[in-house]
């Protein structure tokens, strides 16, 4: 059995959202599972000295255009939510508090934010989304906070600095625009 694909993303990342629509089919074609690993881009940005794309001069304007065009390119429903970006710590904690409902929650949270314009930065909305997929999320216990911090720290320790970020048998790929390379890599590393 081949190792799962590690799929790191931030719930506030448009490119992470687009990747979430493609990763499972791609993995399945090559006999792989996907381990979903939400992380917090804010923590990574502190290490890289980056800031959210919309705040970067020149690049911010381009990014907004590229988000929407890339969504059309991949055939995925998308709008830039308002507000954007947001803190995703509640969504991240909810994910790590859920078991078999974690991935359904992640998909529902992405859809709520990037299609239905629901502010998933708000704890109440996160809990409602978890309930909508039959999950009972815990976002306030110390155990869940510790688990989430440990997951985010582990991602940073592995060098995860962006979203989406995929690791396949130790090989890292950053960006939904690396899916072509991933597809070839899964067939045969090059």
Where on the chain is the footprint of its own copies (CB under 8 A)? Answer: 44, 47-51, 56-59, 61-62, 65-66, 69-70, 72-73, 156, 159-162, 172, 174-175, 177-178, 180-181, 184, 190
Residues in the chain, total = 190
138 contact partners, CB below 8 Å, separation of at least 6:
93, 94, 97, 144
Least distance to its own copies from the beta carbon of 60, Å? 9
8 A C-beta contact, residue 186 and residue 31:
no
Least distance to its own copies from the beta carbon of 51, Å? 8
User: Is the bond preceding 85 in cis, omega lying within 30 degrees of 0?
Assistant: yes
The residue with tokens 């911010």 is 60
Least distance to its own copies from the beta carbon of 180, Å? 7
């Amino acid at each position: 059995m081949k190792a799962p694909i590690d799929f790191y993303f931030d719930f506030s990342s448009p490119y992470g959202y687009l990747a979430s629509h493609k990763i499972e089919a791609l993995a399945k074609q090559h006999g792989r599972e996907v381990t979903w690993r939400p992380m917090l881009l804010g923590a990574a940005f502190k290490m890289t000295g980056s800031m959210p794309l919309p705040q970067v001069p020149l690049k911010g304007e381009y990014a907004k255009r590229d988000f929407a065009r890339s969504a059309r390119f991949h055939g995925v429903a998308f709008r830039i939510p308002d507000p954007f970006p947001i803190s995703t710590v509640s969504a991240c904690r909810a994910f790590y508090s859920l078991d078999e409902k974690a991935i359904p929650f992640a998909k529902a949270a992405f859809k709520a934010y990037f299609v239905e314009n629901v502010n998933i930065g708000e704890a109440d909305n996160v809990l409602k989304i978890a309930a909508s997929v039959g999950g009972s999320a815990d976002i306030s216990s110390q155990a869940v906070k510790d688990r989430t911090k440990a997951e985010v720290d582990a991602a940073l320790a592995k060098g995860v600095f962006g979203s989406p970020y995929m690791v396949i048998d130790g090989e890292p790929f950053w960006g939904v625009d690396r899916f072509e390379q991933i597809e070839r890599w899964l067939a045969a590393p090059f």
